[in-house]
Amino acid sequence: MENQIDTQMEQRKGRRLVLFPLPFQGHINPMLLLATILHSKGFSITIIHTNFNSLNPSNFPNFTFHSIQDGILESEASSKDVLALAKLLNTKCVEPFRDCMVKLLSDVSEETISCLISDAFFYFTQAVADSLRLPRVVLRTGGLSSFVVFDAFPLLRERGYFPIQDSQLEEPVAELPPLKVKDLPVMDNVDPDSFYEIIAGMVNESKASSGIIWNSFEELEQSELDTLRQEFPNPIFPIGPFHKYYLTSSSSSLLAQDQSSISWLDKQAPKSVIYASFGSLAALSEAQFLEIAWGLANSNQPFLWVVRPGLVRGSEWLEPLPSGFLETLNGRAHIIKWAPQLEVLAHPAVGAFWTHSGWNSTLESICEGVPMICMPCFTDQKVNAKYVSQVWKVGLQLENGSDRLEIERCIRRLMVEKEGEEIRDRISKLKEKAKFCLQQGGSSLQNLDSLVSHISKLES
């Protein structure tokens, strides 16, 4: 058996993979983890990255890095318009990415490149890969369930769901139970046609690829997986949760993680703390921020709160808080700029995660058995929140713009009442399933083997 594995590793030597992450935290983390997983399977790894949100190669000595000049201007990089930035990246990166690939492919001293693995949102890379006759595999960093919804956009458009009308928000989407119109993965305050165009690019070029990798696991999204396997021409590999492969992986965090959160958690009672964090992109109005602050304060639970600089529109950091806010809480609160989130969620003191329902955060919470309070902001977060609260029933959903009373009530339901106990029970069971899929014979490990053999057979 061992000899067989050695031979397989030997055969794969000289097979290089080129990975291209979308330069946002929630996309960089899973791509770098995937790189670590595939490296452990014997592949050599090259990472191409943009100079916007540039990566630090010294954290990953086993990989080769190439930086491309994306031409993103300072003003574009600092704009809060993620959609516009994604679109710009898909146009401005075409030439530099192509040039970089041509150089890599023509370097005869290097090993053969098996394929490109690109973030699904870098949809321009399919045409580049085709023109270079290089197979392209896609990493979709979100869930399968939200992808099913994105894939249904043309149908939903045809049936008049878009643009979304306020009067229809509470109506069910008959084609996609249990979603209501308000759960559809759209973005407020952006041009709906622009958004539609990006989603269509992402879905269509994923379908055109040689395979799609997902940071999810079969037992979590079985029926969505069945749907996509039926409808998609290319193979699908749910091989997550990536961060639970127990390989030593370096941090790909763009911001410094404040370790004081762990020493603070060490002093709190088991399962007593609410960990509140809204990811790397979500932004709040000052009014929303204050309702959250008072909701947390009035809950009487200890809380660890990540307030990312820029989280509150128009503020640097904590200026909107009333003076003396923290002092009156007598050490019951700890506010930081960025957390070592995986460590925080695994800490025994954490009893609930108040999240914006980004896919990584959702999966990380499930893996630690931490029940969620969901406050989705945009796109797939809305679908994730619905699945957490209504399908897997491992959390509660707050409506956007909730007031402090609703927040307080929601925290009570989760932390104190019987309903919370049932939710905790369910998420513990889901945590076990997540563990199981990475044990010998588990679904994700089997899918990883299929992926490795699929990649090994791809011919450029």
The contact set with ligand UDP (CB under 6 A) reads 24-26, 29, 253, 257, 277, 279-282, 306, 338-339, 341-342, 358-361, 364
Cβ–Cβ < 8 Å for 187, 195: yes
Cβ 26 to ligand UDP, closest distance in Å?
2
Shorter beta-carbon distance to ligand UDP: residue 96 or 279: 279
Cα separation, 237 vs 253, whole angstroms:
25
Q: How many angstroms separate the CA atoms of 197 and 193, rounded?
A: 6
In whole angstroms, the minimum distance from the beta carbon of 256 to ligand UDP comes to 10
Neighbours of 296 (CB within 10 A): 25
From the CB of 148, what's the least distance to ligand UDP, in Å? 18
How far apart, in Å, do the first and last CA atoms of the chain sit?
Answer: 30
C-beta closer to ligand UDP: residue 150 or 338 = 338
Q: Which is nearer to ligand UDP, 31 or 212 (CB)?
A: 31
Tokens read off for 169: 């928000």
Quick count: other Cβ atoms within 10 Å of Cβ 444? 26
Q: How far is the CB of 233 from ligand UDP (least distance, A)?
A: 28
> CB of residue 248 vs ligand UDP: minimum separation in angstroms?
17
CA trace torsion 204, 207, 210, 214 (10° rounding): 110
State the minimum distance, in angstroms, from the CB of residue 346 to ligand UDP: 11
Specify the residue, 183 or 408, whose C-beta has the smaller distance to ligand UDP: 183
Q: What is the spatial distance between Cα 257 and Cα 418, in angstroms, rounded to a whole number?
A: 35
Q: How far is the CB of 108 from ligand UDP (least distance, A)?
A: 38
Q: Are 164 and 181 in contact (CB under 8 A)?
A: yes
The DSSP secondary structure of 249-315, one letter per residue, reads -----SS---THHHHHHHTSPTT-EEEEE-TTT--B-HHHHHHHHHHHHHT-S-EEEE--TTSBTT-
